[in-house]
Structure 1
Amino acid sequence: MRIALAQLNPTIGDIGGNTGKMRKVVEAVRRAGADLVIFPELAVTGYPPRDLLCRRDFLRRVEEALREEVAPLSRGPALLVGAPVQGEGEFLYNAALLYTGGSLCFRQDKSLLPNYDVFDESRYFRPARERAPVRLGDFNLGLTICEDIWNDKDYWNRRLYEIDPVEELVAKGADLIINLSASPYHYGKIGLRVDMIRSIARKYGRPLIYANQVGGNDELIFDGSSLAVNPSGQVACLAAGFEEDVVLLEVARTDAMGVLVRAMGRLRCPAGEPVDAAPQLYPCLEVSPGHLPGEDIGYVYRALVLGIADYLRKTGFRKALVGLSGGIDSSVTAALAAAALGPENVLGVSMPSRYSSPGSRFDARKLAENLGIAFREVPIERMFSAFLESMNQGGDPCGDLAEENIQARIRGNILMFISNREGYLVLTTGNKSEMAVGYCTLYGDMSGGLAVLADVSKVMVYQLARYINREREIIPHSVLVKPPSAELKPGQVDQDSLPPYEVLDAILQAYIEEEKSADEIAARGFDPELVREVIRKVDRAEYKRRQAAPGLRVTSRAFGMGRRMPVAWRAG
């Protein structure tokens, strides 16, 4: 049996557009001789559709699309498609639907509904009541959906759920496990996922085919990286990361080894030009036995570039605006935006005040030249002076925090003015370290439509900068070596208010991502009073983060939908 593994980038709610992509893939792989096409979890709606699932008109449109657009496509190869389906009592199920000959022949609902981190599936879906393989050709397919394969007690040394769908399906005769997934990316996730899938394949002596969604949907970024693994645990194929891909596989039964999977090649067809009668197959990514490419900071770079590109495209924007301070955060943000959108669609705006150093002004302009983006300089001194005179009633400036922050707020207003008049989306530049402890200004540097670095620590920002400069100097060297500073008062540097970022980031990771207590963090060798002070800052800054722009998620615990903390609370 030939199987096409279709890793697509859906737009949430764009049912017609999503099924249109499926149609292009089916037409191409049919000419390549595919017997079955596998699409990701909730491919019809995109993942996560959230409260769109509560709208009756939306669910009716899904039902119509399945009946009128998806089912007829199965008159060629069979289709395995993820979609929300209403069952008995109008309960909603996250389903894998198998279509053959123009009609639905089998449905397997998702059994394990995650309700942690960024997931909230029990809000919308009921779990499957039963699990059983389905016969297609010479094979018994065990259909699973995303979380269904993340509960192996031998791999995790525990179980989050009472049942293991893979275990049950194998016991009932499944000889090929297929998983439809929408698994969001975070740094290190790809290696973990592949290792787990290989472990499951070896444990049950069954091949496992994994089809993952790709693309950015709001805060979440999906890496794709779909794959097929043989019973030995050998990776038969690995689809591209962070881009659409279609891989053609051949599944065969052998006397000695059981069911085996072999990669035949890739098709460049999901959203591209129409293919001819005999579409060309391109080589798959090479994966040596027992070894996968190592995940490095380049993966975070690609994730952020994809997240920016898809956020603008799917919200209807074409160009982005970045306030350039001459510092590391705005430099990295601008470089990511230029890579995502093309330099011609990015504008950098420098807004110097009396405290901006000549070096920072030069670095902002030099960065824009290196990137090839448009550049403007809008000095804020006259506006700042007017504020000082008005708010101090003609007296001398106080030099307090309010006067420092008004500079950031003037800059935020300038950026939003340009955004309103010229149609740019403003990208905010604050990083996770600053957002964590509240070292940012509401309605100032937090103003904008997308927070690109909101889940990137300061240490990781420097890693990204070095990666961006890996082939030539794009971010000026002086930006990488000068002490970070908001430049809101004379001689100011970040370390006046914060511990060294290497120390701060280690404490923040332990508290936010690992959820360790103050005592547990201090036991790692950190000053106990410093740990308590950092934690106090994190807790007190929740009200700021609640008002921040959506931030792209690249770690295992990001601010926003994956970390839902109250604003008005007190440790007792």
Structure 2
Amino acid sequence: MNFGFVRIAAATPVVQVADCQHNVSHIATLVRQAASQGAAIVAFPELSITGYTCGDLFTQPFLLQQAEAALTQLLEETAPLPLLCIAGLPVALDNRLYNTAVVFSRGQILGAVPKSYLPNYNEFYENRWFAPGTESHAERISLCGQETPFSTRLLFECGDVCLGVEICEDLWVPVPPSSMQALAGANLLVNISASNEMVGKHAYLRSLIEQQSARTMAAYLYSSAGCGESTTDIVFAGNGIIAENGAILRESERFTFGEQLTLCDVDIERLMALRRKTNTFTSESPQKEYRRIRAGLPVQDYTRTPLLREISPYPFIPGKDAHIDERCEEIFNIQISGLAQRIRHTNCRSAVIGISGGLDSTLALLVAVRTFDKLGLPRTCVTGITMPGFGTTGRTYNNALRLMETLGITIREVNIRAACEQHFSDIGLDPGDRSVTYENAQARERTQILMDIANQTGGLVIGTGDLSELALGWATYNGDHMSMYGVNCGIPKTLVRHLVGWVAAKGPDEAARPWLLDILDTPISPELLPADGNGQIAQCTEELVGPYDLHDFFLYYFVRFGFRPAKLYLMARQAFAGKYEDRTIKRWLITFLRRFFSQQFKRSALPDGPKVGSVSLSPRGDWRMPSDASCTMWLHEAENL
């Protein structure tokens, strides 16, 4: 199974200007290398068969004849190979010459796409030799003895892959041809280029590729000229760049003297899922028809072949880049702004939060105090309530108290033991019973206390439950499941941990740092069962429902892209290689699917709370699912992995 992945390659050969035989020999070698490494598609730079910097030699009929003869040789040499190739050469047609990308496979030319926009400014003067492809009225040409489709409006269909081709400057114009190709169905955009280097230009090029792949929700394969092109006036660095939906996945080294092959697996299924969900991915203006040319591609079995792409085990956590602080601050500001608006709208005088000494309530408290700071209200308007019960340990109790003290909020303590014991007596529950009734009664008692104290203080109960708990249904219905505003409802557990760690390292409340660090080091637990004989936490959540890093991984790809269980399993095996065994991943994948489907009824009755990232489970927004939907098909595939 290929699961929607396709392996593509950007090739940078070492050329000799105007030596077509040399150039196709090197191109053929790189095609063979790409095929041996499992590539289905490989692209070579603009005019790579002749070299881009031939200048007025392009007016020599002999060069044009030799270029076509070299292409014929290239077709013959690569005919046994199953992959699809794109290479550039000048093509003469009637009284004009066109800078053309030729698409070929198994010895057959599938189509020729002429360049639409010819730069004729600064160091460029392509109008001296070439005509814009948009001016040609030909539909077919004879090339290498083959009748060949010729147009700027060609698309190449290869199963689920729909490929569009543009050339160099086409990307730099206000509305690139690839934008129209994408609207017509292209999900893999190829640009063969000969863009020279200048200070600062590369950064701009990367941003163009990132933005174009994001705007078109497509994969973008960019291959540009490198070593061997003339350096009479300009220098070429050899860029191979592969992007997908706004992210650069792979890129080659620049300014090398050798040939390079940059390979990556792009996820066409992921891109099509995004397009189908985004109903604005369309054009209101009528589009001229594109000719669609069918082609075959080799199919990789990714159950046997490792993926050539990085798969982060923590898709919700901001990447390790220069903007990480900005990202974390932005997440906090979304939570803060949501809560601030709710407080202003309801004219509440306080916020009430249950503080357990765990991660979720810690993050909610940090959001609350920063909200009141932003509103210009004293932190004492935030009331933190610790509610010790049968499972509360000294460690979490102490952390809760010390954190509240250092943050300067109002502290209240209400022990729930007596109330719960009375409730057990009222409903006839054996005191030694440790069933779900025993646990949920405590959660509901705590919620009742929070609600009533909020009424006393004219306050708002701030929910602490996170996105991971909502996905798994790891919350007591009408207990911790309920609040008046849930600030963490868009934050998964792995991100909760990351944000608390970020505040501990860089937050303004230095006095809180020791307690935040110890909270981070504390096992995740609802503390609803009595502590062990040593007074330690006896109920560890991740031993019961599974590791949150796995569940968050499944959640992200299941909800955002709709990936099937087999694909989730495949990706998780690579992302968590060395951390979890295959059987462990399979076990918790089954648990995730079973709980996600069975617990929808809890998500259907969620309180309000802010969406933070691309995955949300709000029944009023991103996720509307019947509470009685069957998970039989998903479980069947997962169980048979």
TM-score by length of 2: 0.44
Greater CA radius of gyration, 1 or 2? 2
TM-score by length of 1: 0.49
